A and B are shown apart, each in its own frame.
Chain A
Amino acid sequence: MSVLSNKEDILMKFWKPGLLCAAVMLAMPVAAQEVLTIGVRSEASSLDPHWTQLSADVQVQEHIFEKLVALDSASQPIPGLAASWQPLDDTTWEFKLREGVQWHDGEAFNADDVIFTFDRLRGGISGAPASPAFQLEKGSKQWTKVDDYTIHITTDGPYPTVAEDLAMLPIVAEHAARGVTESVDFNSGQAAIGTGPFLFEEYSPGNRVTVKKNPNWWGGEVEWDQVVFRPITQDASRLAALLNGDVDMIDYPPTIDLPQLQEDPDFTVSTISSDRLIYLMPGYKHVERFITDNDGNVMVPNPMRDWRVRKALSLAVNREAIRDRVMGGASLPAKNIVPPGFFGYVDGLEADPYDPEQAQALLNEAGYGDGFRITLHGPNDRYINDARILEAVAQMWSRVGITTEVDAMPRNIFFSRLIRGDELSMPGFDVPEFSMSMTGWGTVAGEATYTVSGTLETYNAATGGGNGNFGRYSNPEIDARSVLAKRTIDPETRLAILQEAITIGMEDYAYIPIHFQVNNWAMKAGLEHQPRTNERTLATEVSRVD
């Protein structure tokens, strides 16, 4: 046999199986990878879920880690890793954990992981700028394991919002996170073992965070094979990336571009009211530095202490004009302090109408018919269109005789000057500085107990009341109700108490609500998104429709 025929023989031997292989490969359907790329405004700084509560971090972490209590799109508590819960008595709550849940590495989830998570939070993460650990301190919670799938939480006195607090605490795996104190171990994926619908894949700081589908998720089939978060801080660039197709979806589309996006058939916009209330907060000191009469002399007493002046200022603000001209339609004029659908919303409490004549009449009645001067302080880079809202309000007040000067500043300066504490721990920071400031309050908990306590209750360093009450408003009727609400476990009774407190506060104009922000997301046509009130973007709420 010649050499040539030897080679030919070998070729003959292998061509049939080779052809068969090729045929099989071509016949196999090419699995299309479903990838969702989301352009986000803020970058996630750490994947350790106990590190901060900044929504930029939380929204990425929520894909990997879950909590005992989840929140629906109106921020109301629903079962998460806990299948059910109930108060056993005034100070004990029982949480039944979900069975059959697996960690991303296959280990079973049980009560030991929950106990470890709470211990880790209480022990403190060194250097964590804003760990959610304080949710455990509220009510002085203690926790015990009853069996592998039951936990008891005890509080110091009756404490109604245990479930809402636990909705802020992601559970980490004991076997993965034991001893982990450095963020890097989470960012590299080593300790980022969760129970959520997505597995950690890649974290490239400043560039992208990638997560991939968890095939064993207890919550059902996950639609997306891969989700990529790309931070794009510049509004215009983020929009360009969507228009260009570099990303499939963006959060916070610039409000001036919303009308164009809504009309464009290639794109869809999803909308829902946010939990963030934008309001004007007066200062209640006897003499306020930034309020002067028309000649520039400081006024005694401070006009803000007269409710008629506050009401006049509220009536002088044209909330509809702000919504239409400044916010591009993306705001909800308000007098409630929590948005519709939240626990504590008062039906029938409508936003003040625009009535400059009545405003003028009230000012005359109060003795300020000639008007006075005031300086309005606010941030210029924190809330949507904040500087423009300040300018609009100033112009509206000037029309009723209150000459208003605007002082807008970057948020790091603004909040340093706004937030006040008590004299001992923050010397020099106990007396409010601003006489009228514009700020926001986001009710992350889905219910009004801590909104009322934070913004309407008298400041009390010992109990934590009024921690957001920087104007130092004080009303004993509200205080009594707020303290009672924090101890009332029965939801219906608590709801009535909260609604009373809110109505009293708003009729007295403790502060002047302007509007709730409206959350918008813009995405390619063919995608459908279930929007949420707490501004977070979750890939499990996005699906393809076509």
Chain B
Amino acid sequence: MAEFIIKRVLQALLVLLVMTVLVFFGVNVIGNPVYIFASSECDQACLTKIIADLGLDRPVWEQYLVFLGNLLQGDLGNSFTHGIPALSLIFERLPATLELAFAALVLALVIGLPLGMRAGLKPEAFSSRCIMAFSMIGFSLPVFWIGLIMILVFSVQLGWMPSIGRGDTVEVFGTEFSFLTLNGLHHLAMPAFTLSLIMMAMVIRLTRAGMREVLFADYIKFARANGIRERRILSTHVMKNILIPIVTVLGMEFGGVIAFAVVVESIFSWPGVGKMLIDAIGVLDRPLIVAYLIFVVFMFVILNLLVDILYSILDPRVRLGDSPT
């Protein structure tokens, strides 16, 4: 297990390095961020001074080497717009995004699993067809549109839900969480639901497909023949066997949800990292973009690792890193 983890970490470092090169030079090609900030009255001398201040007057490869040097010391640079270390900006906003993403994950599982099981147990029933149609909608309708329609219906027309922002927060271990307050849950409901739709749709379809496959397997027939109750068959024997594909897909989707919940965060003005990223791209705040992407790659690697470890727990046949004998 240890050897496996070490190999994975080394691979991750290589991916990180390649990614920093790509992003650093890529953002440079787009343009010079100075013009976005400078007011119209800023003349040549003023522009030159800003460029020098931000370290943009040196050739690109030299800037990259400086960046690498700082990176090895744990310093990802200061955001151009905020003047605050990029890492601390990310960690400041991360709890909000994590909260949203986890809420979406919980919703996707809590709603998706039972619905998928129902569709799998009685595939010909009308309710099952409705469920599958709903999952199709979850896949195909754009998140942007769904979010705005929900705001229009539930906030503006019916007035049941607040339309923007995060609710009251409670501080736990130094970070603020809003799901612990009623007001916070009220604000969290719509964005989390909107974000959960894609994951929910996938969970429904995968659960149904898994059920169709596993329900006719020999060991299930044998368990029934042995007199085990249907409920235990479903919850233990079937569940464990269909969870592997679900865990795989959710693992990757969840990473995407955390990293790029940009659309939902923009629509609902949720103060998370996705919104921060899109703003940074808009003003070419290169340190922030690079820092964020490094963080995202790192997170995907960890998630990948966790998924693999989960496999070995779920399926005792899986041994991590062993070569077939």
Contacts and interface: CB of A to CB of B under 8 A. Distances in A.
B307 interface: no
Interface string A230-271: 111110110011011111000000000000000000000000
Contacts of B267: 234, 236-237
Contacts of B53: 124, 126-129
Given A206-B276, A234-B269, A237-B164, A129 B44 contact: no
Nearest to B155: A244
B76 to A, nearest CB: 14
Given A129-B54, A413-B31, A467 B83 contact: no
Contact of A454 (B32, B41, B152): B41
B46 A244 contact: no
A467 B50 contact: no
A450 B41 contact: yes
Contacts of A33: none
Interface string A477-494: 000000000000000000
A246 B167 CA distance: 12
B47 A421 contact: yes
A6 interface: no
Given A45-B81, A234-B269, A246-B163, A205 B44 contact: no
Given A230-B164, A243-B156, A410-B282, A467 B31 contact: no
A159 B163 CA distance: 51
A205 B88 CA distance: 12
A464 B39 contact: no
Interface string A111-140: 000000000000010111111101101000
A468 interface: yes
Contacts of A45: 81-82
B83 A128 contact: yes
Contacts of B46: 134, 137
Given A54-B37, A421-B44, A182 B83 contact: yes
Given A412-B282, A421-B44, A129 B50 contact: yes
A293 B37 CA distance: 38
Contacts of A205: 82, 89, 92-93, 271
A207 B165 contact: yes
Nearest to B164: A241
Main secondary structure of the interface of A (DSSP, over half): loop
B30 A233 contact: no
Contact of A246 (B47, B84, B162): B162
B40 A233 contact: no
B308 interface: no
B80 A237 contact: no
B163 A237 contact: yes
B133 interface: no
B253 interface: no
Contacts of B39: 53, 130, 132, 442, 444
A48 interface: yes
A403 interface: no
A229 to B, nearest CB: 12
Given A240-B151, A412-B282, A130 B38 contact: yes
Contact of B42 (A182, A243, A422, A467): A467
Contact of A416 (B31, B93, B281): B31
A246 B164 contact: yes
Given A183-B82, A468-B40, A415 B31 contact: yes
A437 interface: no
B159 interface: yes
Given A45-B82, A51-B83, A206-B93, A127 B54 contact: yes
Interface string B155-191: 1100100111110000000000000000000000000
A52 B163 CA distance: 31
B164 A48 contact: no
B34 A129 contact: yes
Given A205-B271, A230-B164, A422-B44, A129 B31 contact: no
Given A130-B37, A183-B82, 18 more contacts: A43-B279, A126-B53, A128-B50, A130-B42, A135-B41, A233-B279, A234-B269, A240-B164, A241-B269, A410-B282, A411-B36, A412-B281, A412-B282, A417-B31, A425-B47, A441-B40, A444-B41, A445-B41
15 contacts: A52-B37, A129-B53, A130-B42, A182-B84, A207-B271, A234-B269, A236-B148, A240-B155, A243-B156, A381-B282, A412-B31, A415-B35, A426-B48, A444-B39, A445-B41
Interface of B: 30-50, 53-54, 78, 80-84, 89, 92-93, 96, 148, 151-152, 155-156, 159, 162-166, 266-269, 271-272, 275-276, 279, 281-284
